Amino acid sequence: MEGAIPIATNTRIAVVTGGNKGIGFEVCRQLASKGITVILTARNEKRGSAAVQELKDAGLHNVIFHQLDITDAPGIARLADFLKARFGRIDFLVNNGALGAVEYVEDPANIAATSEEELRGMSKEEREVWMYSKVRETLPAAKEGIRTNYYGTKDVTEGLLPLLKAAPDGRILFVSSDFGLIGQLKDEQLKKELDDIDNLTEKKLDEMLTTYLKDFEAGALEARGWPTHFSAYRMGLVAMNAYSRIIARRHHELCINCANPGYIKTDMSVYTGTLTPAEGANNLLKVLLLPQGGPTGKYFDEGTEAPFV
């Protein structure tokens, strides 16, 4: 954790999970460039500290590193205690930390070095098919993905809610994707339940994910109508999107939204994306920094409000 830096009482405070690389790093850079104090979190202390140093070398001294594994409950509590003691509140939480929930055939960085020529001229759909060929769907990766991408994100959100509610205009942004849209599911009853936000519960989401993982283990994903490519990543996002709507309904005093930054060139996408991390982060900030009193409980696609289905 970084040493103390002076904070003006009117300075806004942002926490970004998974902030050491990719979209998360660019979100930290762009928020800090706007004078917002940023707590950049990452699982790996060495990489997180290096990311903060890179931003400081670029003249952004209003960034602080705090180690956080979003699946570690004591670590979430330590972060909350630090934030409460240091600031008494936070104004923004950007839930960006996530896993691909697959096993990569080889290091995405190595693939990226040779893929640019191969990908040239491909459509988005063709790039996604190429990406699917570079990963394996395995049960351990699926379980870890659900535990991190849904339950870890949920636990961080719940742990920091009191600090967000202490702010005059607290905001939560869940970094999502079109991979999390309800329409990809084939179970019509489940789709109706997920879109019935007045009656949707966290218990229902738990039941859905338990059933999904059982079907994954039984090799029955396609037969039961679940997604089959980046399957657990998609299902974690479906659950996360639904959870965002539940808590937006529960906490009217906060602004809570999901946002798809676009198809981004990162290690998670094996660098197949068509937008840079900086472009993706800009799309996220369009939503995070909407005027006070703006929409809540919504989904945005590249900065524009869109349906969850």
Which tokens hold the place of 30?
Answer: 């762009």
Terminal-residue alpha carbon distance, the chain: 40
CA atoms within 13 A on the CB side of 88: 8
Q: Which two tokens stand for residue 144?
A: 């870890």
Q: Which of 233, 263, 271, 299 is catalytic?
A: 233
- Of 168, 305, 193, residue with least CA distance to 246: 193
What is the tally of helices (H) and strands (E) in the chain? 11, 10
In which element (H, E) is residue 256 found? strand 255-260
DSSP state of 274: S
233 is catalytic: yes
Strands, E, within 90-224: which ranges? 92-95, 103-104, 135-136, 171-175
Per-residue HEC secondary structure of 48-74 comes to HHHHHHHHHHCCCCCEEEEECCCCCHH
For residue 223, what are the contacts with CB-CB under 8 A and spacing of at least 6?
215
State how far the alpha carbon of 243 is from the alpha carbons of 64, 205, 296, in Å: 28, 8, 13
User: Would you please indicate which residues are annotated as catalytic (active-site) residues?
Assistant: 233
